[in-house]
A and B are shown apart, each in its own frame.
Chain A
Amino acid sequence: MSTHSISKGCFVFKPPSKKRRVRQETASNSTERKNDSEDTELRFASCQSLWAQIKLETEKIQENLNKQLLDNLVSFLRRSHSEFQEKTTEWSCQMKSREIPTAALVLGVNVTDHDMTFKSLSEVLQDDITPYVALLEAKDCPGIKNLMQKLMGQLMNCCIDIDEDSFEDDSHVQVSQNKIRCSMTSLINWYKSVMKKTDSETTRKKRNSSSRHWQSPPVVVIFKDMESFTTKVLQDFIVISSHHIHELPLALIFGIATSPMIIHSLLPHSVSSLLCIELFQSLSCKEHLSTIIDKLLLTAWCPFKLGEKVLKVLINIFLYHDFSVQNFIKGFQLCIVEHFYSQPLSVLCCELVDAKKRVNTLSHNQCENIRRLPSFRRYVESQVSENQIALLTSDSFLKEVTQKLLEDLQLYHENYVSVLRCLHVFTSSLPKYPLGKQIRELHCACLENQVWETEEYESSLQLARMLNKSDLVTMLQQCVEIFVSSSGKEFDKTVEKLKEFLTQFQELEAEAFEEDVSVSSEKELQKKTDLYHLQKTLLELKESRRSKKLTKFEMLRFEVVDYIDSLVRNYLVPADHKTLYEVVYFNTASVLRGHLNAAPRTALHTALNNPYCYLKNQALKSDGGSISNKAPDICIAYKLHLECGRLINLVDWLEAFSTVVMAVEGPKADAASSDQVDHIIYARFIQAVSELIFLGFIKPSKQKTDHVARLTWGGC
């Protein structure tokens, strides 16, 4: 078993007991029954189903994104060895030194995502190319011996797996692994025997199974993290396998996180010349994230929505820290769980049809919950007084209204997405991207507050008013496409209006002569060289421009921009202005931050400095600066050590420690019994110190006897 601890030591692993889990389940059942008025069970079920749906969707997206890469790889591997099989008699093939086909797979620095890619890769390979795929990790292969062991273990096991259904009795392959000598020869013998067997199988049986893989399929070895392998292991392995490439058709795949240059820095020319390296590059993780956001967040099908702050936290973790799409999705999952757990009304966060049904069965408690929502209160205040009373007193009326409001919310989301995309078409082509290049930035801006009140929006409208005609036309066409493909019915008019603009632009093309006037005046300007005259004409020009009537094109451009502006003002209202938005939006970023941005140093410091924070013991609550003797020993020792310099004298420390501890027992502790008490305190002190050593705050020092050195915050 492995641990993720950084410190060395003994770790106890208890066998996972099933009993305990059962007990927990019953416990949770009883609590559920208690407050079932808040639909806990239903919430749990809908949370589960929603997550399952999202998981499926993300996996599908990932599969699609990797498809191109995998196809390329498969065709490369297929090509690599078949060439040699086809024309072994040709002169060039006889003379050419046979290289090991190698795919350098550049996957980007998000190492946590690689597992997924490798998993799908090996699945694809096993389906299409060869049953013999081995995945090697650097941490398993410190030496060539371990590498061979691992490799043979995986290959021979996989073979057994494949054959299990057809050949149960065949003991030939099932030689236990430790009996086999871990050398290339035994691997080759194994390969030959397996080939012989499949040969006989194909002659005996139908050719159905081996038609997928061709005769003598290659053995694919995947090095997951090329960077971490030691040079020697890689070199030795490549040299050995190149000796036997004629007997064992081997193909390598290097998983590279940084850049393919690493191959040259890891392998000398004499070894890299044994390889036939081709480069494959996966999609960059930023694009990957964009696709995920596009397909997951900016769609109407997913009833659960992320609030602006939460989304920013997730995106920041991605961009600033790890580039890991996997972590982003995990964070998203956490949001879902947290939302369904903390918000009782999240029971309504599902498909609209279901939600309406669920509204009808809401308990009185839940109705009260609705009434307590800030957004709902705002809504009530905006109503006439009779309605207000009805909403606050009658549950059935409330339910009716809630259904309508939910419907509104759904409609808002549908429209929101289309208009957002449309706005993105405009803003993404402006110089300097005042509203951001990516649609996610625009989405955040729109969620944050009323986007049309921001300066950036103002400046981007200004810029949009200066767009040239061809750009404008293509953008309008894109917008039309977006609206046509959207599901919202409200956009029929909008589409019509946009199409009208387009036809007007086309008409304009016919009569484009007015522009010449301004051009000629510019030409005049170029003739003047005298400074005074130049100034004068410039002023005149300015004057004339101000007074001059706008050209038709400019008029139309203004109209278009204004129209887009009106769309934005209509549909891109921030979500928290909508009634009942709390039902589907998760926006408590602080919780998420607490979970995802672990701050070990701060947490340790608070725990030791202010034990009340975690222990919740009233006795510890008291002080600001003074050291309470009721605190755990380690806290006392820690606080005392904060007052010391780089080196701490253990005797002084013990003195101070015992003074603090004895403070309360002061009257009792006589000089006579102090000797005995000292032993216990001494033991407690030693334990506290060794705990601090274990936590990494201090370490024994060799500079001075009886001193320890501080390791944190520099000492003094």
Chain B
Amino acid sequence: MPNLEHPAYPAATLLHLESLVPCRESQVSLLLSIFGERQQFSLPSIFIYGHTSSGKTYVMQTLLNTLQLPHVFVNCVEYFSSRLLLEEILIQLQSYSSKIEQSSHVPCDSLNDFVGLFKQVVASQELQDQTLYIVLDRAEQLREMEANILPAFLRLQELTDRNVTVVLLSEIVWELFRPSIGCFEPFTLYFPDYSIGHLQKILSQNHPPEYSADFYAAYINILLGVFYMVCRDLKELQHLAVLNFSKYCEPVVRGEANERDTRKLWKNIEPHLKKAMQTVYLREISSSQWESFQRGSGEPGQLKGLSAHTHVELPYYSKFLLIAAYLASYNPVRTDKRFFLKHHGKIRKTNFMKKQEKTSNHLLGPKPFPLDRLLAILYSIVDNRVPPTANIFSQITSLVTLQLLSMVGHNDQLDGPQYKCTVSLDFIRAIARTVNFDIIKYLYDFL
């Protein structure tokens, strides 16, 4: 077990730090040796990547806070434009100094301004003799800002000539960042996923005060047995553990089992967890609904998930428009004659097909079609005469806003707009059933 060791920091602090970052000791010790002592220059930029909730943000935050290193922590999703981002860094820096007033807000439009302002802020403080760390969380957003932002951050040390290290945190690999014009290559560090043993260790750490650590660890073991297959997100697992713990304790509270009776407890909790996996984990029902369901003995059948409400009520002609759109999307144009003309004669499918059409159109997905074709099909599938009023056209538009149709290449309205039908086969069959239209008979794939 490699204990954290570093001459610059007191051993007690390091020990405390180690207890805070379980299963990440090797990464932390590597980072510590890179950082060096407070006043020593470190690497200009460090790139840390790893999957969701592999502890990147948490480790960095704990490390910098516990060792009380001067740092700025910015989330790039939150500060979505370069201007906001740079200003936020400056504002946070200002808070380190006592001399400058908080409210003096300086506009910072470009990176050039930033470098100047940065020098000012750093010079006016006691930060000079320490390395300053700028941590940019969710750094993949930087790629969407101006092209100079990312390369400039990577060599900020050089540009500002100050003792500063930029740390980028991201979920994707460095190769996807590298700009085409080239840039300074940062030191990359990978945070591997937590293994099941790690998860067990971390989750068991925070046991509720009422129960013993062993009891909670046994519970976590069962929980991981169910959920590890589908979810390795530590936060999510933590959340699920808390949600279902009261159910696990139920037999103990009622006095039917003691804390060591693991088998009985397992029997009690296992189906419950499986149910949770199908409902609350998918956010089919909300956590608060799940909790109230646990407290009361209500039937789980009463709680209908979000996916249970798939039915959509549509006006009569909208239904037919949608059906027509579906047919236009999934049938080849040449087959329209066969389906919608009265005296089409008998054309067998084998003669009819070209090679590429042998693959199911449903596997290839919807194809775009022009408005005229949609209306032509509509007029032939509706039994009575459809008046070509503005209402029909506005219905098409509202189907587009409802995301049941989507417009393809909407550059010019006059240019004959093209649409695609985005609904699924099941959905359209349910719609067709309500208007007594046998859609399967009209689909080329099912001929």
Which residues of A does B touch, CB under 8 Å?
A: 6-8, 79-80, 83, 91-92, 95-97, 99, 101-102, 104, 106, 108-109, 111, 144-145, 181-185, 225, 227-228, 236, 239-240, 243, 257-264, 269-270, 272-273, 275-279, 281, 284-286, 317-323, 597-602, 696, 699, 711, 714
Contact = CB atoms under 8 A, between A and B. Distances in A.
B208 A92 contact: yes
A262 B387 CA distance: 32
B416 A711 contact: yes
B292 to A, nearest CB: 10
Interface residues of B, number: 62
A275 B283 contact: yes
Interface of B: 52, 75, 77-81, 84, 87-88, 206, 208-210, 233, 235-236, 238-239, 241-243, 245-246, 282-283, 286-289, 304, 306-307, 309-318, 372, 387-395, 398, 401-404, 413-416
B243 to A, nearest CB: 7
B282 A276 contact: no
Contacts of B316: 319-321
A95 B403 CA distance: 38
A261 B313 contact: no
A450 to B, nearest CB: 26
Contacts of B283: 264, 269, 272-273, 275, 277
Contacts of B88: 183, 185
A317 B208 CA distance: 61
Contacts of B387: 597, 599
Contacts of A243: 75, 78
A92 B245 contact: yes
A181 B80 contact: no
Contact of B309 (A92, A181, A260, A601): A260
Given A269-B283, A279-B306, 5 more contacts: A96-B243, A184-B78, A225-B401, A318-B315, A319-B315
Given A104-B306, A259-B312, A320-B316, A109 B286 contact: no
A72 to B, nearest CB: 13
A97 B316 CA distance: 45
A542 B74 CA distance: 91
Given A183-B79, A261-B307, A281-B309, A99 B403 contact: no
A275 to B, nearest CB: 7
A712 to B, nearest CB: 9
Contact of B389 (A272, A318, A323, A597): A597
Nearest to B392: A321
A227 B402 contact: yes
B26 to A, nearest CB: 27
Contact of A95 (B52, B206, B289, B313): B206
A96 B310 contact: no
A243 B75 CA distance: 10
A281 B309 CA distance: 10
Nearest to B239: A97
B230 to A, nearest CB: 10
A284 B402 CA distance: 17
B398 A111 contact: yes
Contacts of A711: 414, 416
Contacts of A145: 80-81
B206 A258 contact: no
Given A80-B288, A145-B81, A276-B287, A284 B313 contact: yes
26 contacts: A7-B414, A8-B413, A80-B288, A95-B238, A111-B401, A144-B80, A227-B401, A240-B77, A259-B312, A261-B307, A264-B307, A269-B282, A276-B288, A277-B306, A278-B288, A317-B391, A318-B315, A319-B315, A320-B315, A320-B391, A321-B316, A321-B391, A321-B395, A322-B398, A699-B414, A711-B416
B287 A228 contact: no
A259 B374 CA distance: 24
Nearest to B403: A227
A109 B288 CA distance: 28
Given A6-B413, A227-B403, A276-B288, A261 B84 contact: no
B256 to A, nearest CB: 22
Contacts of A91: 208-210
B391 A322 contact: yes
Contact of B388 (A181, A269, A599): A599
Contacts of B243: 96
Nearest to B209: A91
B92 to A, nearest CB: 10
Given A92-B208, A260-B309, A278-B286, A598 B389 contact: yes
B242 A96 contact: yes
Question: What 9 A-B pairs come out closest when comparing CB atoms?
Answer: A260-B306, A598-B390, A321-B391, A276-B286, A91-B208, A597-B389, A320-B316, A96-B242, A696-B414
Contacts of B81: 145
A97 B235 contact: yes
